[in-house]
């Protein structure tokens, strides 16, 4: 693990989070997009893969309190839960099928008024969670910048 790669991973996490928000907005507005299948499960996302891999090593940094990592994990999971709710309202329950279900994309259904209202509420919730998550990631970045590269490389 090195400092530059770690900071780049956190920068990419911010980009991915914004992409998830955009995707949720497009789904709730019934705008069809080519790539509408972002990871629903937090561990499948770029942030999740990094967080549950190399990111866990950051718990050993003396200037990084454990609640920072816990907060990032909780907020990230909540963000994906809200996205999953919007996805389910647009397409129905996610099927855990095999290869064919990944090839043939599900059809977007026409949401009812109550589903549209719920999607809007979920999206607003996602925006709030994303703001909090951005704040936690920014605090982590500040802590990483303050630590020497040697210390991070030794993790």
pLDDT in tens, the chain (155 residues): 889 999 999 999 999 999 999 888 887 665 554 445 567 889 988 889 999 999 999 988 888 888 999 999 999 999 999 999 988 888 775 444 444 454 455 566 778 889 889 999 999 999 999 999 999 999 999 999 999 999 888 88
> What pTM does this model have?
0.83
Torsion angle defined by CA atoms of residues 22, 27, 32 and 36, in that order, rounded to the nearest 10 degrees: 70
Q: Among 22, 82, 17, which residue's Cα sits nearest to residue 50?
A: 17
């Amino acid at each position: 693990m090195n400092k530059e790669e770690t900071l780049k991973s956190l920068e990419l996490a911010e980009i991915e989070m914004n992409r998830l928000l955009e995707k949720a907005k497009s789904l709730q507005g019934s705008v069809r997009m080519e790539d509408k299948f972002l990871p629903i499960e937090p561990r499948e996302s770029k942030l999740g893969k990094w967080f549950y891999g190399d990111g866990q090593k950051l718990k050993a940094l003396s200037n990084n309190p454990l609640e920072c990592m816990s907060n990032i994990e909780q907020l990230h999971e909540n963000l994906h839960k809200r996205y999953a709710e919007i996805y389910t309202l647009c397409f129905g329950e996610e099927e855990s099928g095999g290869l064919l279900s990944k090839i043939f994309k599900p059809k977007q259904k026409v949401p009812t008024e109550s589903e549209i209202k719920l999607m809007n509420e979920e999206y607003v919730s996602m925006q709030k969670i994303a703001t909090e998550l951005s704040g936690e990631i920014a605090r982590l970045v500040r802590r990483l910048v303050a630590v020497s590269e040697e210390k991070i490389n030794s993790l």
